[in-house]
Every structure is written in C-alpha cells, then in structure tokens.
Amino acid sequence: MPVEFVVAAHHTDQFPRDRLPEVAFVGRSNVGKSSLLNALLLRHRKRVRGGVQRKKLAKTSQTPGRTRSINFFRINRKLYFVDLPGYGFAKVSRVEQNRWRSLAEGYLETREPLRLVVLLVDIRHGPTALDRQMRQWLEYHDQPYCVAATKSDKLKQGARKRSARSIEETFAPPVPFSAVTGEGVKQLWRVIDSALLT
C-alpha cells in the first residue's frame, strides 16, 4: 500500500495528469484537514501492513494557514488525496488570500477526476458562514460531498450530540472524526470507497 507525496502545486499546470480519481479535503484554516488526511492514511497502512510505518505525510501545525499549496498524495497508485489550502484565515494579506482562493476554486471548478469532496467542520464551532458558502457552491455544481466533524475528542457526549445535530441541519449528518483517537477513520473510508465505485 504505497502512499506517495506527489506534488505541492502552486499552479494548475502542476496538477497530476494521470487521471486517477481524486478525493479533495476542504475546510477553513486550522480545521484539521492535514491531520485527518494523516489519520486516514496511517490507519489505512496499519490495516494493510500491520502498523509498520506511522510517518506523518501531510504537514500539520499550530499556525493556521500552513498549507499554501494544493498537495497531491497518491494512494496505492489508484487514487489521489488532495489537501487544499484552508479558507477564511484573516491574518494573511488580501493578495495572498485571493491567490489561494483562485488556486482552490480553479481546482474545484475544473478538475475532471474529482469524485468526492470531504468538507471538514470543527465540531466545536459548527458550520461557519464560509462553510455555508462552500456548501452552496458544491450543490450548485452538483459536486458529491460528505461532511466530517473534526476534533470530536474535544467535546463531551452531550455537546457532541448537539453539535452533530446542528451540522446535520445545515448540511448532512456528519462523520464525527478525531485524528487523536482515530474515531471516524473506518466510517470515512467507507464513504470514500463507495464514492469511488459510483
């Protein structure tokens, strides 16, 4: 089960050309995209190879706005995971924000191999205005998507349930996910697998 980091793309002409199906991960900055991606891949490797390698693939950090390029990871030579730069990070310049936005939008609007968008929402904060915008955009473009509620380890049962309900009202029932406990890894893989079959 080889996982390869293929490219950190800053321009559309750097996107891979081998036409493998793609799953993209989007959400506001710091929501936990890179961590979720690592959790999916590590768990996946563990399942297949008995937990030999546990190296992080996607860079994570305390500093929001870390991922500035579109990062392509090729899984088992069969599909790509695509880590998009987070939106809504106010502390970078307007010029920089616009650059990210046009890169991410360019990807989402034109990417033929894109099969599924995983929209990440922080379970503690629920959907933000930008998340709603993203949902509208996905629906307008008939883009299949699912919702993951990240950092589920940070809330107790009662608060989790309330939050999941509010996310469900705005979007769809979310997959509660934690990169810390591994909650949701299997469930999200099932959603991804079935999106690739259709």
Ligand X SMILES: Nc1nc2c(ncn2[C@@H]2O[C@H](COP(=O)(O)OP(=O)(O)OP(=O)(O)O)[C@@H](O)[C@H]2O)c(=O)[nH]1
Which residues of this chain interact with ligand X, rule CB under 6 A? 29-35, 60-62, 64-67, 86, 150-151, 153-154, 178-180
127 interface partner picked from ligand X, Mg ion, none, CB below 5 to 8 A per type: none
| Least spacing, CB of residue 112 vs ligand X, in Å | 25
| Least spacing, CB of residue 61 vs ligand X, in Å | 5
Contact between 163 and Mg ion by CB under 5 A: the answer reads: no
Q: Give the other-Cβ count within 10 Å of 114's Cβ.
A: 19
| Least spacing, CB of residue 89 vs ligand X, in Å | 7
For β-strands 79-83 and 22-27, DSSP reports them as parallel
Is residue 189 within 8 A of residue 44, CB to CB? The reply is yes
Q: By C-beta, is 49 or 56 nearer to Mg ion?
A: 56
Size of the site for Mg ion (CB under 5 A): 3
Residues 18-77 that bind Mg ion (CB under 5 A): 33-34, 67
Residues 107 and 95: their CA atoms lie apart, in Å, by 18
Concatenating the DSSP letter of every residue in 15-69 gives S--S---EEEEEEBTTSSHHHHHHHHHHHHHHHHHSS------S---SSTT---S
Residues 189 and 193: their CA atoms lie apart, in Å, by 6
154 interface partner picked from ligand X, Mg ion, none, CB below 5 to 8 A per type: ligand X
Residues 174 and 8: their CA atoms lie apart, in Å, by 28
Q: By C-beta, is 63 or 110 nearer to Mg ion?
A: 63
Q: By C-beta, is 95 or 197 nearer to ligand X?
A: 95
| Least spacing, CB of residue 98 vs ligand X, in Å | 16
| Least spacing, CB of residue 113 vs ligand X, in Å | 22
Residues 188 and 175: their CA atoms lie apart, in Å, by 7
31 interface partner picked from Mg ion, ligand X, none, CB below 5 to 8 A per type: ligand X
Q: By C-beta, is 77 or 91 nearer to ligand X?
A: 91
Our measurement of the distance from residue 186's CA atom to the centroid of its chain's CA atoms, rounded to an integer in Å, reads: 15
Task: Tell me which residues touch Mg ion (CB under 5 A).
Answer: 33-34, 67
